[in-house]
Structure formats: C-alpha cells, structure tokens
C-alpha cells in the first residue's frame, strides 16, 4: 500500500472516530437535558432560572459543593420540598446533572429597573370605602393560599365560609403581607410577580415583576413602601406601595464586591426599617425607610458615623451588620431590638442586638430550628421562644433573658410551622417531615407538655395552623390536591368544620398579622 493511501486511510479513520465521539457527546448532552427536563424543570424552571424551587446557577450554588449537590439530588434536601431521586437516577446521571447546573448560562436575563418598570400594570382603580363591600368583620378575614391550582380564597373567620376565590400568579411564596388597616394584601410569587389585592373590594389593583426568582416581600409600617427580596438577580427592589411602581433597585454586595441572594426580608416597625438576611454573605442589613434617615451605626463600638456613601444614598441607607455565619432564617423579639437567626449549616443560633449592631449571644439549638415560625409566650413569669426544628423531632423552648434552652419537647418528627394565640392555652405544631406528617401536636403552654395529637386526615400531610382573631378557632391545612382547611375549637380541641380546598398551604388572619400577635410569624 502506498504511503498516500495509508495517510488517506488514517485521515478517514480519524474523521469517523471524531464523528462517533461527537455523536456520543451529543447523545450524552441530550440525555442530561432530558433528565433535567423530566426531573428538574417543573420546580427549577426550563431555563434553570427558578420557579417553585430556586434558580440552579453557579452564582447561586457557592455554598454547596458539587459532591453535596449530588447527595441532594440522590437523597433530597432536609427541610425543603426537594425530593430524592436516588431510585430513578444513578450516581453518574446525578453527577452529570450537577456538572450541567454548575455551568454558567450563556446569557442570564437582565432584570433592572427599566425591565421592572416595563412590566408594571395598573389593573383597577381604588375606590374610597369605609369597609368591605360584603358583610363580614374585615379584621377577622383570612387569605388562604391554594398552591394546587394557584388560587387564593378570602375566608370569613366568623362564619368560616369562603367569600371569594381568585386566580394568583404561579407558586406564591413567603406569605402575603397586609397594609396596616388590613384592606390591602400584597403577594409575591416565586417567579418575581408582586400583586396588590384590595381585600375590601375583591379586586387586584396592580402588579409588577420585581425579579426573575423571588424570595419574599415586606411592607413598611407606614404603608408607603414594599421591599422585595430576590434570589435572581441578587437585588432588593423597593416599590411604591400605592401602585407598585418601582422606586429603587439595590444590588446586594459586600465591601469586596461579592454578591448574594437575599434569604428573607421583614419589616421592623418600631425601627422604621426593613431587615434583610443574606444567603451568601455573613451579614444582616438594616435599611431605613424614614424620610430623614438616622445616622447608621456600622458595628464599631461608639462609632455612629454615617454609612459609607450615605449622602449619595439619601433614602434607604444600608446599614451592614457583620456576623460570623450566614442567616437563612430569623425571628424578632416583640420589641424588634433583638434578632434571632439560624443558618442551614450552623451548630447554634445567633442573637443579634440591633441597637448596637452585633452578635451578643448564641442559642443552644442543634439540628435546624425554623425560627421564622417561632412564637413567644409567657411561661412562669418569663418570656420564652418556642421553635420547631426542621431536622429533629423536637420543639425547643428558650428563655429570652438568659438564652438558655429550658425544655426540649420530643415530637414525632421534624416540624415546619408552629402557631398559638394570646387567648389560647395551647400551641400547635405540625410534623411536616417524615412518616407522621399527618399529625399535629397540641402543647399546653403552662406545662410545656403535649396534651393531644390530632390527625385531621390520616395519611395526608397536615400543616400550617393559624388562629382566628380571638383565638377561639385553629385552622389546619391538609396539603393535598384533594385537600381541606380543617377548623378546630381551641378549647375542646374538637373538629367543628371542614372546607374543601386545592392543596391549601398558608392561612393568614388579618387581625393577627396587623397587630403582630406573638403567636404567629410577622
């Protein structure tokens, strides 16, 4: 065989082999994309930009190693609705998915103030009203969020009868927030849509898309501003509460320029500020909304200098409080002077004194307390904090003067929501995670003992108790497409009514929220 024939044969072989490799690579890529579409896209979005679940991008995965991400895919994630896929995907496929989600997108949509402004819609006028157009106590209304088919129901808390049911955006998250008089309710969806609903007139007033993947929102106590906390982009967005028009976008970055998602934002009414926990930076931010911002204390003893750039910031100055761990979740004392925070990977909770702007103590809580669902009440002459635990079958009770754990109440499994009321002797806590998710424990606040375990519908998850304005009734959700809101008498602990609902999640009583009851989250 001549050399030119041999060379031609080699070249042809290389071309064929390269083609085969390319075909295999395409097939492998196609398989990975098919796996993502089949198993991930419904919650995390077709473009990995987030939906019911968070965005799956390298920018949002800094705190999770690739090995940990493989573990999450195969075995699920504690205290979330992330299921385990180990019975469907093997280790190799899980690792391929991880490589995919850790690969940057060629293009991430920009969602700046111009994009927000372009999405803004005024949907209905706001008439002057002295009360609701229907016959019911406006302070004893509930909003019931039905995740199953993306609706919300306005519920009369006296008659325990639905008044109106309306369509919402996809995957509401973080709990609706009320205006100070209870007339307006503000919703945030996971895909960034913020809606303002007139509860008295049963009409959606306005809406705007404030982000691509949103965590939650808060409303200022003076009813002027709405702050939206985003996972994507890494921003806080300030809206005019009157019509949801955008006012300002704040990039979430530390002094070195590192960006972060927002874990949560809450309003601190006595402080005239919003408080923000950050997912990827060990800081908590306090952002004033008063017209004449006070000097901002930045964590150095006796140094009340203005925050860097305050003159340029004008309204909404950012006060940065440095911490030694991230905050995924937090809870305020009733006077809003102390913040109790926890992180997913932390061994102990953190106590932050907001006046001086630093951590002052730790809480002896292992596992992962769900402090955002904590409640306070009086126990033997002292104020205690009680919190469920997302990893352990335990309710932890803490003395808020000494920060010592005074009781660990064993439960049938990890819980998500805990609720009570000033007029009730009982606290209710669910067992959201595990084989006993159909159970609700009733705890006597005087003895710190479980006195009853309710099972509203055996075999179906029961969760998120909420009390009516007087504490006489407790409402429990059956988290199922063929679900219900079950109403209990809080004295006898007997079921008195059952209202069919489509996977009802949270129920939010107007009076308890606007008065900031110690028995519910704020």
Please count the helices (runs of H) and the strands (runs of E) in the chain: 7, 33
- Whether 416 maps to a domain, the answer reads no
Write down the residue that tokens 């950012």 correspond to. 318
Helical (H) or strand (E) element with 495: strand 495-501
Tokens (6 digits) for 184: 């307006």
Distance CA 315, CA 429 (A): 40
Nearest to 177 by CA among 468, 505, 421, 509: 509
Strands 235-240 and 246-251: antiparallel
Tokens (6 digits) for 379: 């126990």
Q: Is the dihedral of CA 99, 101, 102, 106 positive or negative?
A: positive
Residues of the chain with pLDDT under 50: 1-3, 6-22, 24-27, 298-312
- Whether 97 maps to a domain, the answer reads yes
- Whether 25 maps to a domain, the answer reads yes
| DSSP E strand boundaries for 137-233 | 141-146, 151-156, 161-167, 177-178, 184-188, 193-198, 203-209, 213-219, 225-232
Cα 51–75–416 angle (5° rounding)? 65
Give strand pairing partners of 207: 121, 195
Cα 254–54–282 angle (5° rounding)? 25
For the chain, give the longest Cα–Cα distance: 101
pLDDT tens digits, 434-473: 899 999 999 999 999 999 999 999 999 999 999 999 999 9
Number of structural domains found in the chain: 1
Nearest to 456 by CA among 476, 482, 433: 476
Question: According to the model, what pLDDT value does residue 107 have?
Answer: 74
Distance CA 286, CA 293 (A): 12
Strands 141-146 and 495-501: unpaired
Tokens (6 digits) for 401: 């003067």
Question: According to the model, what pLDDT value does residue 233 have?
Answer: 94
Write down the residue that tokens 């009583």 correspond to. 509
Give strand pairing partners of 500: 484
Phi-psi map region of 347: left, alpha, beta (phi>0 left; psi -120 to 50 alpha)? alpha
Range of the domain at 69: 3-101
- Whether 10 maps to a domain, the answer reads yes
Distance CA 277, CA 275 (A): 7
Give strand pairing partners of 507: 144
Residues 60 and 69: beta-carbon distance below 8 Å = no
- Whether 91 maps to a domain, the answer reads yes
Helices 3-39 and 91-101 meet at what angle, rounded to 10?
90
Whether residue 233 is preceded by a cis peptide bond, meaning omega within 30 degrees of 0, is: yes
- Whether 20 maps to a domain, the answer reads yes
- Whether 490 maps to a domain, the answer reads no
Question: According to the model, what pLDDT value does residue 346 have?
Answer: 58
Return the CATH number at 97: 1.10.760.10
Tokens (6 digits) for 215: 């965590």
- Whether 259 maps to a domain, the answer reads no
């Amino acid at each position: 065989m001549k050399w030119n024939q041999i060379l031609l044969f080699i070249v042809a072989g290389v071309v064929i082999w390269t083609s085969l490799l390319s075909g295999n690579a395409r097939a492998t890529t196609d398989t990975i994309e098919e796996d993502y579409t089949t198993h991930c896209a419904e919650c995390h979005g077709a473009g990995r930009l987030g939906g019911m679940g968070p965005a799956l991008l390298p920018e949002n995965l800094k705190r999770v190693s690739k090995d940990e991400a493989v573990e999450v895919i195969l075995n699920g994630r504690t205290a979330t609705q992330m299921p385990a896929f180990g019975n469907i995907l093997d280790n190799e496929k899980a690792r391929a998915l991880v490589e995919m989600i850790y690969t940057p997108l060629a293009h991430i949509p920009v969602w700046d103030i111009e994009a927000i402004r372009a999405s803004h819609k005024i949907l209905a006028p706001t008439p002057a009203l002295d009360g609701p157009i229907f016959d019911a106590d406006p302070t004893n209304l509930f909003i019931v969020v039905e995740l199953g088919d993306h609706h919300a129901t306005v519920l009369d808390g006296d008659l325990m009868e639905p008044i109106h049911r309306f369509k919402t955006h996809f995957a509401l998250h973080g709990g609706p927030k009320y205006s100070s008089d209870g007339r307006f309710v503000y919703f945030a969806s996971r895909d960034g849509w913020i809606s303002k609903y007139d509860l008295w007139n049963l009409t959606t007033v306005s809406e705007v898309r404030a982000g691509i993947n949103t965590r939650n929102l808060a409303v200022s106590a003076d009813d002027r501003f709405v702050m939206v906390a985003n996972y994507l982009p890494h921003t806080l967005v300030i809206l005019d509460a009157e019509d949801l028009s955008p006012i300002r976008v704040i990039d979430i970055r530390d002094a070195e320029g590192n960006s972060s998602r927002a874990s949560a934002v809450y309003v601190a009414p006595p402080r005239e500020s919003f408080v923000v926990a950050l997912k990827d930076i060990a800081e908590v931010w306090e952002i004033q909304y008063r017209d004449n911002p006070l000097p901002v204390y930045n964590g150095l003893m006796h140094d009340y200098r203005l925050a860097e750039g305050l003159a340029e910031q004008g309204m909404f100055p950012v006060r940065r409080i440095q911490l030694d761990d991230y905050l995924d979740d937090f809870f305020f004392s009733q006077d809003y002077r102390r913040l109790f925070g926890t992180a997913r990977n932390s061994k102990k909770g953190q106590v932050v004194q907001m006046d001086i702007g630093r951590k002052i103590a730790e809480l002896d809580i292992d596992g992962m307390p769900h402090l955002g669902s904590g409640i306070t009440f009086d126990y033997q002459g002292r104020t205690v904090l009680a919190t469920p635990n997302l990893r352990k079958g335990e309710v932890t009770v803490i003395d808020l003067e000494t920060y010592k754990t005074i009781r660990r109440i064993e439960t049938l499994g990890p819980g998500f929501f805990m609720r009570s009321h000033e007029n009730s002797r009982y606290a209710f806590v669910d067992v959201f995670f595990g084989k006993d998710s159909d159970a609700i424990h009733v705890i006597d606040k005087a003895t710190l003992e479980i006195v009853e375990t309710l099972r509203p519908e055996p075999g179906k998850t029961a969760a998120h108790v909420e009390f009516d304005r007087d504490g006489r009734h407790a409402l429990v959700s059956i988290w199922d497409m063929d679900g219900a809101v079950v109403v209990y008498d809080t004295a006898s602990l007997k079921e008195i009514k059952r209202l069919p609902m489509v996977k009802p999640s949270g129920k939010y009583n107007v009076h308890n929220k606007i008065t900031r009851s110690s028995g519910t989250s704020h």
